Amino acid sequence: MPLGTLDRTPPPFFKQGATPLHKLIFFATLSILLMFCDVRWQLTLPLRSALSLLLSPAQWLSRQPQQLSTGVVNFFEERETAQNREQQSQAALLAQSLHAAQVDQLLLENRQLRDLLELKQRATPPSLAAQVIYDAADPFTRRVILDKGGVNGVILSSPVMDEQGIVGQVTRVYPLVSEATLIIDKDNSIPVLNNRTGARGVAFGESSGAPLLELRYMAANADIQENDILSTSGVDGVYPPGVPVAKVIKIERTADSMFARILCQPLGRAQGVRQVLVLNPVGLDEPKRPEPEVVKVPVKAGAKP
Protein backbone atom coordinates (compact mmCIF):
# COMPACT_ATOMS: atom_id res chain seq x y z
CA MET A 1 0.00 0.00 0.00
CA PRO A 2 1.41 3.38 -0.86
CA LEU A 3 2.34 5.48 2.08
CA GLY A 4 0.32 8.42 0.79
CA THR A 5 -2.92 6.55 1.23
CA LEU A 6 -2.42 5.95 4.98
CA ASP A 7 -4.69 7.91 7.41
CA ARG A 8 -2.29 9.94 9.50
CA THR A 9 -4.98 11.56 11.76
CA PRO A 10 -4.84 10.54 15.44
CA PRO A 11 -7.46 8.10 16.68
CA PRO A 12 -10.55 9.55 18.44
CA PHE A 13 -9.16 8.69 21.85
CA PHE A 14 -6.32 11.16 21.43
CA LYS A 15 -8.38 13.98 19.89
CA GLN A 16 -8.53 17.13 22.00
CA GLY A 17 -11.17 19.88 21.73
CA ALA A 18 -11.15 23.39 23.15
CA THR A 19 -9.14 23.99 26.27
CA PRO A 20 -10.90 24.51 29.61
CA LEU A 21 -9.90 28.17 29.56
CA HIS A 22 -11.56 28.69 26.21
CA LYS A 23 -14.70 26.95 27.42
CA LEU A 24 -14.79 29.16 30.53
CA ILE A 25 -14.44 32.32 28.46
CA PHE A 26 -17.11 31.19 25.99
CA PHE A 27 -19.73 30.21 28.55
CA ALA A 28 -19.02 33.23 30.75
CA THR A 29 -19.51 35.51 27.75
CA LEU A 30 -22.69 33.66 26.79
CA SER A 31 -24.03 33.95 30.36
CA ILE A 32 -23.34 37.67 30.51
CA LEU A 33 -24.95 38.16 27.11
CA LEU A 34 -28.07 36.22 28.16
CA MET A 35 -28.34 38.15 31.40
CA PHE A 36 -28.04 41.45 29.55
CA CYS A 37 -30.69 40.43 27.03
CA ASP A 38 -32.97 39.22 29.81
CA VAL A 39 -32.67 42.48 31.72
CA ARG A 40 -32.98 44.57 28.60
CA TRP A 41 -35.69 42.76 26.62
CA GLN A 42 -37.08 40.18 29.10
CA LEU A 43 -36.29 37.36 26.69
CA THR A 44 -36.42 34.56 29.24
CA LEU A 45 -39.61 35.70 30.96
CA PRO A 46 -41.87 33.32 28.98
CA LEU A 47 -39.44 30.48 29.64
CA ARG A 48 -39.36 31.18 33.35
CA SER A 49 -43.15 31.39 33.44
CA ALA A 50 -43.49 28.05 31.69
CA LEU A 51 -40.94 26.41 33.98
CA SER A 52 -42.65 27.86 37.04
CA LEU A 53 -45.96 26.48 35.84
CA LEU A 54 -44.49 23.05 35.20
CA LEU A 55 -42.64 22.93 38.51
CA SER A 56 -45.52 24.23 40.66
CA PRO A 57 -47.00 20.71 41.29
CA ALA A 58 -43.59 19.47 42.39
CA GLN A 59 -43.13 22.47 44.65
CA TRP A 60 -46.58 21.93 46.13
CA LEU A 61 -45.81 18.28 46.84
CA SER A 62 -42.45 19.15 48.40
CA ARG A 63 -44.13 21.62 50.77
CA GLN A 64 -46.79 19.22 52.00
CA PRO A 65 -44.69 17.29 54.58
CA GLN A 66 -43.47 20.51 56.18
CA GLN A 67 -46.95 22.05 56.21
CA LEU A 68 -48.42 18.83 57.60
CA SER A 69 -45.90 18.69 60.45
CA THR A 70 -46.39 22.40 61.18
CA GLY A 71 -50.17 21.96 61.19
CA VAL A 72 -49.97 19.04 63.63
CA VAL A 73 -47.67 20.98 65.99
CA ASN A 74 -49.87 24.08 65.80
CA PHE A 75 -52.97 22.00 66.44
CA PHE A 76 -51.67 20.58 69.70
CA GLU A 77 -50.20 23.92 70.80
CA GLU A 78 -53.43 25.78 70.08
CA ARG A 79 -55.41 23.02 71.77
CA GLU A 80 -53.34 23.32 74.93
CA THR A 81 -53.53 27.11 74.80
CA ALA A 82 -57.30 26.98 74.34
CA GLN A 83 -57.68 24.62 77.31
CA ASN A 84 -55.56 26.89 79.52
CA ARG A 85 -57.56 29.94 78.45
CA GLU A 86 -60.79 28.13 79.13
CA GLN A 87 -59.67 27.25 82.65
CA GLN A 88 -58.57 30.83 83.27
CA SER A 89 -61.83 32.14 81.87
CA GLN A 90 -63.86 29.83 84.11
CA ALA A 91 -61.90 30.93 87.17
CA ALA A 92 -62.31 34.59 86.21
CA LEU A 93 -66.02 34.04 85.55
CA LEU A 94 -66.50 32.55 89.02
CA ALA A 95 -64.66 35.46 90.59
CA GLN A 96 -66.67 37.95 88.54
CA SER A 97 -69.91 36.21 89.50
CA LEU A 98 -69.11 36.63 93.17
CA HIS A 99 -68.05 40.21 92.58
CA ALA A 100 -71.20 40.94 90.57
CA ALA A 101 -73.40 39.56 93.35
CA GLN A 102 -71.65 41.82 95.85
CA VAL A 103 -71.91 44.79 93.49
CA ASP A 104 -75.64 44.29 93.06
CA GLN A 105 -76.08 44.28 96.83
CA LEU A 106 -73.92 47.39 97.21
CA LEU A 107 -75.85 49.17 94.46
CA LEU A 108 -79.11 48.36 96.22
CA GLU A 109 -77.77 49.68 99.53
CA ASN A 110 -76.38 52.75 97.80
CA ARG A 111 -79.73 53.50 96.15
CA GLN A 112 -81.57 53.07 99.44
CA LEU A 113 -79.13 55.36 101.25
CA ARG A 114 -79.41 58.00 98.54
CA ASP A 115 -83.19 57.84 98.71
CA LEU A 116 -83.00 58.11 102.49
CA LEU A 117 -80.71 61.15 102.29
CA GLU A 118 -82.62 62.55 99.30
CA LEU A 119 -79.46 62.65 97.19
CA LYS A 120 -79.49 62.71 93.42
CA GLN A 121 -79.01 59.34 91.76
CA ARG A 122 -75.99 58.92 89.55
CA ALA A 123 -77.02 58.69 85.92
CA THR A 124 -75.11 56.69 83.34
CA PRO A 125 -73.84 59.13 80.67
CA PRO A 126 -74.77 58.46 77.03
CA SER A 127 -72.12 56.62 75.06
CA LEU A 128 -71.12 56.17 71.43
CA ALA A 129 -69.04 53.33 69.94
CA ALA A 130 -66.12 54.46 67.78
CA GLN A 131 -63.07 53.02 66.08
CA VAL A 132 -59.50 54.31 65.99
CA ILE A 133 -58.53 55.06 62.40
CA TYR A 134 -54.88 56.00 62.85
CA ASP A 135 -52.46 57.78 65.15
CA ALA A 136 -51.94 61.54 64.95
CA ALA A 137 -49.14 62.79 62.72
CA ASP A 138 -47.30 64.56 65.56
CA PRO A 139 -44.68 62.09 66.92
CA PHE A 140 -44.24 64.06 70.15
CA THR A 141 -47.84 63.58 71.32
CA ARG A 142 -49.98 60.56 72.13
CA ARG A 143 -53.15 61.17 70.15
CA VAL A 144 -55.42 59.05 67.97
CA ILE A 145 -58.07 59.85 65.37
CA LEU A 146 -61.58 58.41 65.82
CA ASP A 147 -64.05 57.72 63.02
CA LYS A 148 -66.86 59.64 64.77
CA GLY A 149 -67.20 63.40 64.82
CA GLY A 150 -69.58 66.23 65.56
CA VAL A 151 -72.30 64.95 63.24
CA ASN A 152 -72.33 61.72 65.27
CA GLY A 153 -72.77 63.52 68.59
CA VAL A 154 -69.16 63.62 69.82
CA ILE A 155 -68.63 66.50 72.26
CA LEU A 156 -65.41 68.22 73.20
CA SER A 157 -63.80 66.83 76.40
CA SER A 158 -65.71 63.54 76.10
CA PRO A 159 -64.03 60.65 77.96
CA VAL A 160 -62.79 57.74 75.83
CA MET A 161 -62.57 54.23 77.30
CA ASP A 162 -62.31 50.59 76.30
CA GLU A 163 -63.46 47.44 78.10
CA GLN A 164 -60.57 47.74 80.61
CA GLY A 165 -60.73 51.39 81.61
CA ILE A 166 -60.14 54.99 80.62
CA VAL A 167 -58.04 55.48 77.47
CA GLY A 168 -58.12 59.23 76.89
CA GLN A 169 -60.20 62.32 76.25
CA VAL A 170 -61.52 64.03 73.12
CA THR A 171 -59.56 67.25 72.58
CA ARG A 172 -60.63 68.20 69.04
CA VAL A 173 -63.91 67.62 67.24
CA TYR A 174 -64.37 67.81 63.49
CA PRO A 175 -67.57 67.13 61.52
CA LEU A 176 -66.69 63.55 60.55
CA VAL A 177 -63.76 62.63 62.81
CA SER A 178 -62.41 63.61 66.21
CA GLU A 179 -59.04 63.63 67.92
CA ALA A 180 -58.51 62.02 71.33
CA THR A 181 -55.50 62.62 73.58
CA LEU A 182 -54.43 59.46 75.42
CA ILE A 183 -53.95 59.52 79.17
CA ILE A 184 -50.26 58.64 78.71
CA ASP A 185 -49.63 61.95 76.93
CA LYS A 186 -47.21 64.09 78.94
CA ASP A 187 -49.59 67.08 78.87
CA ASN A 188 -52.66 65.12 79.97
CA SER A 189 -53.95 64.84 83.54
CA ILE A 190 -56.84 62.98 85.14
CA PRO A 191 -58.19 63.12 88.72
CA VAL A 192 -58.07 59.68 90.32
CA LEU A 193 -59.06 57.99 93.54
CA ASN A 194 -57.32 55.12 95.32
CA ASN A 195 -59.88 52.34 95.65
CA ARG A 196 -58.16 50.94 98.74
CA THR A 197 -57.76 54.11 100.80
CA GLY A 198 -60.12 56.60 99.14
CA ALA A 199 -57.32 59.15 98.78
CA ARG A 200 -57.61 61.49 95.83
CA GLY A 201 -54.84 62.55 93.51
CA VAL A 202 -54.00 63.63 89.98
CA ALA A 203 -52.30 61.32 87.47
CA PHE A 204 -50.22 62.80 84.65
CA GLY A 205 -48.63 61.25 81.59
CA GLU A 206 -45.06 60.18 82.31
CA SER A 207 -42.68 62.96 81.26
CA SER A 208 -40.09 60.61 79.73
CA GLY A 209 -42.53 59.44 77.07
CA ALA A 210 -42.98 55.93 78.46
CA PRO A 211 -46.53 54.52 78.25
CA LEU A 212 -47.06 55.08 81.98
CA LEU A 213 -48.80 57.48 84.35
CA GLU A 214 -47.24 59.37 87.23
CA LEU A 215 -49.26 60.10 90.36
CA ARG A 216 -47.84 63.45 91.44
CA TYR A 217 -48.01 65.59 94.57
CA MET A 218 -48.46 62.61 96.92
CA ALA A 219 -46.66 62.95 100.23
CA ALA A 220 -43.69 60.66 100.81
CA ASN A 221 -45.45 59.09 103.80
CA ALA A 222 -48.80 58.69 102.02
CA ASP A 223 -50.62 55.38 102.42
CA ILE A 224 -50.15 53.94 98.95
CA GLN A 225 -48.87 50.53 97.94
CA GLU A 226 -47.97 48.69 94.78
CA ASN A 227 -50.89 47.03 92.96
CA ASP A 228 -53.31 49.66 94.27
CA ILE A 229 -56.05 50.34 91.72
CA LEU A 230 -56.78 53.93 90.76
CA SER A 231 -60.17 54.90 89.36
CA THR A 232 -61.75 58.16 88.26
CA SER A 233 -62.85 60.36 91.16
CA GLY A 234 -65.53 62.23 89.20
CA VAL A 235 -64.71 65.61 90.79
CA ASP A 236 -63.64 67.22 87.50
CA GLY A 237 -67.06 67.11 85.85
CA VAL A 238 -65.64 65.19 82.87
CA TYR A 239 -65.01 61.55 83.75
CA PRO A 240 -67.73 59.45 85.39
CA PRO A 241 -66.71 58.24 88.85
CA GLY A 242 -65.52 54.71 89.49
CA VAL A 243 -64.06 53.87 86.06
CA PRO A 244 -60.66 52.05 86.34
CA VAL A 245 -57.67 54.10 85.24
CA ALA A 246 -54.36 52.55 86.31
CA LYS A 247 -52.52 50.26 88.71
CA VAL A 248 -49.58 51.36 90.87
CA ILE A 249 -46.42 49.50 89.83
CA LYS A 250 -43.54 51.46 91.38
CA ILE A 251 -43.09 53.79 94.37
CA GLU A 252 -39.89 55.76 94.98
CA ARG A 253 -39.45 57.58 98.29
CA THR A 254 -36.36 59.71 98.86
CA ALA A 255 -35.27 61.63 101.94
CA ASP A 256 -34.52 64.82 100.00
CA SER A 257 -38.05 65.14 98.58
CA MET A 258 -41.35 65.65 100.35
CA PHE A 259 -43.23 63.95 97.51
CA ALA A 260 -43.05 60.34 96.40
CA ARG A 261 -42.53 59.37 92.78
CA ILE A 262 -45.32 56.96 91.91
CA LEU A 263 -45.53 55.25 88.52
CA CYS A 264 -48.73 53.58 87.34
CA GLN A 265 -49.60 51.20 84.52
CA PRO A 266 -52.75 52.15 82.57
CA LEU A 267 -55.44 49.50 82.74
CA GLY A 268 -56.92 50.51 79.38
CA ARG A 269 -55.05 49.76 76.19
CA ALA A 270 -53.46 53.15 75.77
CA GLN A 271 -51.37 51.74 72.92
CA GLY A 272 -52.83 49.71 70.08
CA VAL A 273 -56.47 50.28 71.03
CA ARG A 274 -58.95 49.82 68.16
CA GLN A 275 -62.51 49.82 69.51
CA VAL A 276 -63.45 52.49 72.06
CA LEU A 277 -66.49 53.95 73.76
CA VAL A 278 -66.98 57.74 73.79
CA LEU A 279 -68.95 59.03 76.79
CA ASN A 280 -70.57 62.40 77.26
CA PRO A 281 -68.91 64.50 79.97
CA VAL A 282 -70.77 64.09 83.24
CA GLY A 283 -70.73 67.86 83.74
CA LEU A 284 -73.46 68.26 81.14
CA ASP A 285 -76.02 66.85 83.56
CA GLU A 286 -74.80 68.91 86.51
CA PRO A 287 -76.30 72.29 87.36
CA LYS A 288 -74.24 75.30 86.37
CA ARG A 289 -72.13 77.01 88.95
CA PRO A 290 -73.74 80.15 90.35
CA GLU A 291 -72.24 83.43 89.36
CA PRO A 292 -70.19 85.09 92.12
CA GLU A 293 -72.07 87.81 93.89
CA VAL A 294 -70.74 91.33 93.57
CA VAL A 295 -70.74 93.08 96.92
CA LYS A 296 -71.27 96.80 96.62
CA VAL A 297 -69.44 98.89 99.17
CA PRO A 298 -71.51 101.94 100.22
CA VAL A 299 -69.84 105.23 99.51
CA LYS A 300 -69.82 107.72 102.38
CA ALA A 301 -71.21 111.16 101.82
CA GLY A 302 -68.56 113.63 100.79
CA ALA A 303 -66.09 110.92 99.80
CA LYS A 304 -64.70 110.85 96.33
CA PRO A 305 -65.87 107.83 94.29
pLDDT of residue 85: 86
- Coil, strand or helix: which one is 244? strand
| Measured CA distances, 232 to 12, 30, 167, 229 (Å) | 99, 77, 12, 10
Least reliable range by pLDDT among 33-37, 168-172, 270-274, 301-305: 301-305
Nearest to 212 by CA among 203, 221, 225: 203
Which residues span the domain enclosing 62?
A: 34-121
Q: Please check the confidence at residue 121 and state whether its pLDDT lies above 90.
A: no
Q: Give pLDDT, residue 213.
A: 93
25 C-beta neighbours (distance < 10 Å), count: 12
Same-domain status, 157 and 211: yes
Res. 89 pLDDT band, cuts 50 70 90? confident
Phi-psi region of 236 (alpha: psi -120 to 50; beta: other; left: phi over 0): alpha
Instruction: Give tens-digit pLDDT for 253-274.
Output: 888 888 999 999 999 888 888 8
Considering the domain boundaries, does residue 26 fall inside one?
no
Residue 218 falls inside a structural domain: yes
Same domain for 163 and 45? no
Q: Which position has the higher pLDDT, 284 or 153?
A: 153
Q: Which of 248, 286, 154 is nearest to 168 (CA)?
A: 154
The total domain count for the chain is: 2
In terms of pLDDT, which residue wins out, 13 or 275? 275
Condensed to tens digits (0 to 9), the pLDDT of residues 191-238 reads 999 999 989 999 999 888 788 999 998 988 889 999 999 999 888 888
DSSP summary character for residue 220: T
- Does residue 164 sit within a domain? yes
